[in-house]
Amino acid sequence: MDFRFQQTVPAAWVDYNGHMNDAEYNRAFSQATDAFIDHIGLDEAARSEYNYTIFTLETHICYLQEMKEGQAFEITFRVLDYDQKRIHLFLSMYNAAGDLVATLEEMLMGIDVNEGRGAPFPEQIEEKIADIFKEQKGLEKPKQAGRVIGIRRK
């Protein structure tokens, strides 16, 4: 999948530590996820037509490198897994030098807006997710996927 999300760190995202604030990484990943949701066919018109949307159930971020104001970044997407109503998605954020600066692992769920609860993806959407999953299936599992937070002691 060649689809990527590109952005530059605006001044408003920089905190007292002089770097992109942790919550703004989440914002960038959230905007990128919205772009991905559009990409698989669930743009505003489709969400309205299907009465269907996507909720985030769970996220896990690894902060690997600082980002400063004005620095460009690019986010790539990997469908690690999916079922009838969930997508296990992994996003990688790279700086202009190509260094991995942060990752987001997340579980998304398709929601029937009328019922306000999880419901199977519309057929065309599931086909698109399946296509991406098949295309990426051979790729290595990202190092930051499946992590548990904790202090390891010898």
Binding site for its own copies (CB under 8 A): 16-17, 21-23, 26-27, 29-31, 44, 47, 53, 55-63, 81-83, 86, 88, 105-107, 145-151, 153
**What span, in angstroms and rounded, lies between the C-alpha atoms of 48 and 22?**
32
Taking the least distance from each CB to its own copies, the nearer of 2 and 16 is 16
Taking the least distance from each CB to its own copies, the nearer of 77 and 88 is 88
Maximum pairwise Cα distance, the chain: 55
**What span, in angstroms and rounded, lies between the C-alpha atoms of 36 and 42?**
9
Closest approach of its own copies to the CB of residue 123, in Å: 20
Closest approach of its own copies to the CB of residue 148, in Å: 5
Closest approach of its own copies to the CB of residue 29, in Å: 8
∠81-91-108 over CA atoms, to 5°? 50
**What span, in angstroms and rounded, lies between the C-alpha atoms of 22 and 129?**
29
Name the nearest CA neighbour of 106 among 94, 92, 119, 91.
Answer: 91
Is 129 in a helix, a strand, or coil? helix
Taking the least distance from each CB to its own copies, the nearer of 57 and 96 is 57
Closest approach of its own copies to the CB of residue 2, in Å: 25
Taking the least distance from each CB to its own copies, the nearer of 63 and 94 is 63
What the block records as the tokens of 112 is 């029937």
